[in-house]
Amino acid sequence: MTAAIVGWAHTPFGKHSDETVESLIVQVARDAIADAGFEPADIDEIVLGHFNAGFSAQDFTASLVLQADPALRFKRATRVENACATGSAAVHQGVRAIAAREARVVLVVGVEQMTTTPGPEIGRNLLKASYLPEDGDTPAGFAGVFGKIAQAYFQKYGDRSDALAAIAAKNHKNGVGNPYAQMRKDLGFDFCRAESEKNPFVAGPLKRTDCSLVSDGAAALVLTDIETALGRKKAVAFRGLAHAQDFLPMSKRDILAFEGCGEAWRRALGAAGLSIGDLSFVETHDCFTIAELIEYEAMGLTAPGEGHRAILEGWTQMDGRLPVNPSGGLKAKGHPIGATGVSMHVLSSMQLTGTAGDIQVKNAEIGGVFNMGGAAVANYVSVLQPLR
C-alpha cells in the first residue's frame, strides 16, 4: 500500500444551473482539504478530472482549482481525461505521484456540468467516447451503442429484460438513502420492467430506466502517503489498483465479455491478494443496466451469460453476498462524467469508515471500485481498505 484517502467532499449531483464548473471545483476543493485536516499550502500536487468534450466553454481547467485558495498558486496542477473513467484516471494519477515519491499530499478533484448543454449536443458530446468511424452515426448516441450491446447479449444468451429491470430497481431503491443522489425515488421493479409513456424504449431493448442521468456535480479527495495517513483522523488505503486500456473499436474485441474490465479486476485483486468473494461491496459503472449485468460476469461474480442470476437471486442487493452500488450507482446518483470516478472513491471511503449513513453496508471492511470509459475501453479498478 503506497497511498491512502484521508479526506473528501461531494456536492449533490443533479441540475446546478446556478453553478459553474469553477464554482463546483472551488467548493469541493476547499471542503476536501479542510476535511483532511490540511492547509492549502500543504498540497504538493493537484489532479483535476474533467471530461468536457464540449460541455464547458472553458477548456483549460486545471488552474481553476487554484481559485480555491491563494496558497495553491504555483502548485503542480494537471487535468486528466479518459472518457467516463476520467475521475478514476485522476485518482490513479494522484496515487502514482505519491508512489513515485514526487508528492506527499495530493488533491484530486472531479467535475462536470452537463445540464446547461442542449439535449442533442449532449448526445453528440458523449458519442465522442466511441469509435466514430464505426459508431459515429449510431441513432440515440451512446445509448444506441449500449442498445446494440444489449441486443447482441440478448441474442446470445436470451432475453434478460427482467434482470435489467431488477438492476434499475435495485439502484433506485439504494439511491433513496444517498443525500448526493440526483434521483432519490424507489421506482420499483414493475415500473422499470414495463414500457410506458414515462418509461419508453430509448435504444434496442433499453428503456429510459436503463440509462444513467445527465448531471452536474463535483467530488474531491485528498491522498497522502501511508506514513502521513497514519497520523490523520481517518484513512482508507489502496490495497490494490489497476488500469487496463482496451481497443477503441468494438469490432476488434468481444464486446459482450468486457475483457478490459475483467483484466483490471484480475490485476487489482491479484495485487491485493484477494478474490471477489473477499469484498464487502462494489461500486461499479452502471452507465446502462446492461453494463452492470456484464460487469457481474467480468468481475468473476458469475460465469459468462449468467449475470442475471446475481441480481435475480439477490446476490447484489444491500443484504446480499456482494452489495453492488449501495450508493444507487450512476443510475440513481447521476453521472457528471469527470466527477463519477472520484465520487465512487469518496462514497466507498465513507462506507469503509462507517460514515455512509442510510446507504451504509453492514460490517464493510473491503470495497471495490470499477469505473469505465467508453464501452469497456478505459477500465480502472481500486481495492480499498481502512488503514486502521
Annotated catalytic residues are 84, 335
Contact (Cβ atoms closer than 8 angstroms) between residue 139 and residue 203: yes
Please list the residues that pair with 105 across neighbouring strands: 224
Sequence-distant (6+) residues with CB within 8 A of 190 are none
DSSP string, 183-224: ------HHHHHS--SSS-EEETTEEGGGBPPP-EEEEEEEEE
Rounded distance between C-alpha atoms, residue 282 and residue 238, angstroms:
14
> What are φ and ψ of residue 9, in 5° steps?
-155, 155
Which candidate, 296, 290, 32, 343, places its Cα nearest to that of 178? 343
Please list the residues that pair with 49 across neighbouring strands: 80, 110
Rounded distance between C-alpha atoms, residue 340 and residue 112, angstroms:
9
Tell me the three cell numbers of residue 326.
449501495
> What are φ and ψ of residue 371, in 5° steps?
-125, 130
> What are φ and ψ of residue 54, in 5° steps?
120, -5
Contact (Cβ atoms closer than 8 angstroms) between residue 17 and residue 30: no
Rounded distance between C-alpha atoms, residue 79 and residue 172, angstroms:
32
Contact (Cβ atoms closer than 8 angstroms) between residue 330 and residue 348: no
